[in-house]
Amino acid sequence: MAVKVLVVDDSGFFRRRVTEILAGDPQIQVVGTATNGKEAIEQTQALRPDVITMDYEMPVMDGISAVKQIMQRCPTPVLMFSSLTYEGARVSLDALDAGAADYLPKNFEDISRNPDKVRQLLCERVHALARTNRRSLGIAPATVSAPSVSSRPLTGSASAPRSSEPPAPRSSSPAPRKRSYKLVAIGTSTGGPVALQKVLTQLPASFPAPLVLIQHMPAAFTKAFAERLDKLCRISVKEAEDGDILRPGLALLAPGGKQMMVDGRGAIRILPGDERLNYKPCVDVTFGSAAKAFGDKVLAVVLTGMGADGREGARMLKQAGSSVWAQDEASCVIYGMPMAVAKANLADGIYSLDDIGRYLAEIG
């Protein structure tokens, strides 16, 4: 069955363009449009779409207010559009807190200059969100019409797995044994901002290890995200800069559009984003450098996200003797990255998001 989409935007131009782009995919059906948040709520209840694309700035009711009410009344995966600015980053993070599943930068120039790229990105993201873990949004699995086609990798994210794949490993791991680490490395993508916030707010100010965070996110967003985490957490969080030194209780977030590596002296190296890599930042790159720098003294954690970024880096860490945890399916927004690690038999433990934060807080 086709994925049913509701398009919400006060701009007639953007509504038409988004509708035209989505209508070009035979596996997507635009079932309605709305010009403000109030209409979006009404249309969601009447049409029961599988995915909603939502603007932020609208008359009558803004997008974030609409998302909050939709998640209370009729939980539905929401893809937010926001500008590639610091304010756009703040809005996107607020929307994710309100319950949105993902976001895309709203860039009119890209629509004009790269229509094929925009079409691929938007359609693939909609297909992926139609496969969102319904439990994470409070939606019964039977309410969703999943697409019958698989999606190709896309910039900053990759498609969710087909439902015909073998069942994913269940979360049945015993609590990890306590040990000390020289570094904790956490990688994530779709659903990651909320997941990281939930994990990191459980850590004490006296957390004994340095942390590095790799979140698939545009360059304009990572600074705002690091600042938000720093305000919410007892540990310190900052966007990583070249030459930063790892220290206990400090989490360094990889800057968007670039690659982050660590060396044996505990220094951070920030490198230009390699065009050959789909992800900038890439979890595999940071995990691989950590394996080389610290051998068996790393704890790697792979959280919610589409695709398989982190699997090969986790393999390198396991070969060096380090530990790898993966988030379980039930607590993921998208069970892609953790599933790739678990199905490759690289996870020492598969835990819920709540347990990951609790177990991290207890490491020696």
At 230-289, the pLDDT tens digits run 999 999 999 999 999 999 999 999 999 999 999 999 999 999 977 777 899 999 999 999
Residues 136 and 231 in one domain: no
Residues 90 and 198 in one domain: no
Q: What percent of the chain has pLDDT over 70?
A: 87
Residues 198 and 56 in one domain: no
Is 189 catalytic? The answer is yes
Residues 251 and 324 in one domain: yes
Residues 203 and 345 in one domain: yes
In whole angstroms, what is the distance from residue 339 CA to residue 162 CA?
12
Is residue 215 situated within a structural domain? yes
Is residue 157 situated within a structural domain? no
Catalytic choice (189, 289, 322, 331): 189
Is 216 catalytic? The answer is yes
Residues 201 and 317 in one domain: yes
Residues 203 and 344 in one domain: yes
Which tokens hold the place of 49?
Answer: 């779409």
Q: 59-68, 121-130, 291-300: which range is least confident on average?
A: 121-130
Is residue 327 situated within a structural domain? yes
Is residue 339 situated within a structural domain? yes
- For residue 22, what is the domain's CATH number? 3.40.50.2300
Residues 188 and 284 in one domain: yes
Quick check: helix, strand or coil at residue 38? helix
Residue 72: its pLDDT value, please?
93
Q: pLDDT tens digits for 308-333? A: 999 999 999 999 999 999 999 999 99
According to DSSP H, which parts of the chain are helical?
Answer: 12-23, 37-47, 63-73, 86-98, 108-113, 115-130, 134-137, 192-200, 219-232, 283-294, 311-320, 337-343, 353-361
Catalytic choice (55, 102, 216, 323): 216
- For residue 222, what is the domain's CATH number? 3.40.50.180
Residues 110 and 203 in one domain: no
Is 127 catalytic? The answer is no
Number of domains in the chain: 2
Look up the domain containing 240 and give its range: 183-361
Q: How far apart are the first and last CA of the chain?
A: 50
Is residue 168 situated within a structural domain? no
Which of 140, 167, 198 is the C-terminal boundary of a domain? 140
The residue to which tokens 């009711």 are assigned: 61
pTM: 0.86
Is residue 86 situated within a structural domain? yes
Residues 107 and 188 in one domain: no
Count of CB atoms within 10 A of residue 296's CB?
15
Is residue 169 situated within a structural domain? no
Buried b (16+ CB within 10 A) or exposed e, 195-230: bbbebbebbeeebebbbbbbbbbbbbbbbbbbbbbb
Catalytic choice (9, 55, 284, 309): 309
